[in-house]
Chains A and B, each alone.
Chain A
Amino acid sequence: MRQTRGRPEVAAAQPRGAAGGGSREDPRLKLTLPAEPASVPVLRHRASQFAAEQGVGRDVVADVALAVSEAVTNAVKYAKVSGGEGVVELSAAAWGGWLVVKVRDRGEGFGKGSSDGLGLGLSIIARLCADLKIVQEGDGTEVLMRFPLPE
């Protein structure tokens, strides 16, 4: 596993339409930070900044910021419950008319009895994004959110 604590791995957002290897690439952002409370505002800020760069309105930028805050907070909370230090990964891309934002942790996922309180953050996210998917795997949980890009 990559050691990321204290040394966040950052693949900076590329400008819209930036060329790579002679072909057009979609703008994207990838950032991995320790699953700790201090990471919440950092990831919220980077996600909302990326959203603004894609030309979405203020309402959607605010939705992205809140949704990412809630998703990262869940990741931090359950990293603690799992007893590990863990990391939380944020990735975002503008693709196919959508701003796709993913928050992934490598904790144990939603453990038994974890529903109390867990749903509230996800419930907020559910109402902010156009489409929500929650994928739980053995090594973590991925929250995938889609927001509409302007025509």
Chain B
Amino acid sequence: MVVMSSRGASGKGEPGWKQRIANAEINGRRVNEAIERGEEEGGSAVFVCECGYLGCSATVELRIADYEEVRTDFDRFLVIPGHEIAGVDRVVERHPEHLVVVKDGEGLQESLREADERTP
């Protein structure tokens, strides 16, 4: 059983549960970027699920190139099927072992853009 992240990820200004979930997903992506940096470009790696559930420890093995396909924009995240959160995540791609989700909402888009080191 996984529990939705409802603490820890709360910043200043009471950002609300959607923002807290987004924070958890941003942090998950930073973990995957660190994992990716340790691997060879043509190889594969075990990536963590970037969902917003507190107890999630799911992983998925992907080629680095496939993870880069997920990371083509600041608001796209890698999650395991079934870990998308209604009202926050919109599934835009379905693959056998993983989904690509994006986040809707102007406020979330802003914070995701700011948090993405790849966005100029």
Show the binding face of A for B, using Cβ within 8 Å.
59-60, 63, 97, 109-120, 122-134, 136, 141, 147-148
Set B23, B34, B43, B49: member contacting A130, Cβ < 8 A: B23
Q: A59-B7, A127-B5, A127-B27 are in contact. Are A115 and B35 (CB under 8 A)?
A: yes
Q: How many A-B residue pairs have CB under 8 A?
A: 98
Show the binding face of B for A, using Cβ within 8 Å.
5, 7-12, 23-24, 27-28, 30-35, 37-40, 43, 45-49, 53-57, 59
How far does the alpha carbon of A138 sit from the alpha carbon of B53 in the complex, in Å? 33
Set B7, B8, B10, B35: member contacting A119, Cβ < 8 A: B35
Q: A119-B48, A120-B48 are in contact. Are A126 and B30 (CB under 8 A)?
A: yes
A129, B27: Cβ atoms closer than 8 Å: yes
Question: What would be 15 A-B contacts, judged by CB atoms less than 8 Å apart?
Answer: A59-B8, A110-B35, A111-B38, A112-B38, A114-B38, A115-B39, A118-B35, A123-B56, A127-B24, A127-B53, A129-B27, A130-B10, A132-B27, A132-B30, A148-B12
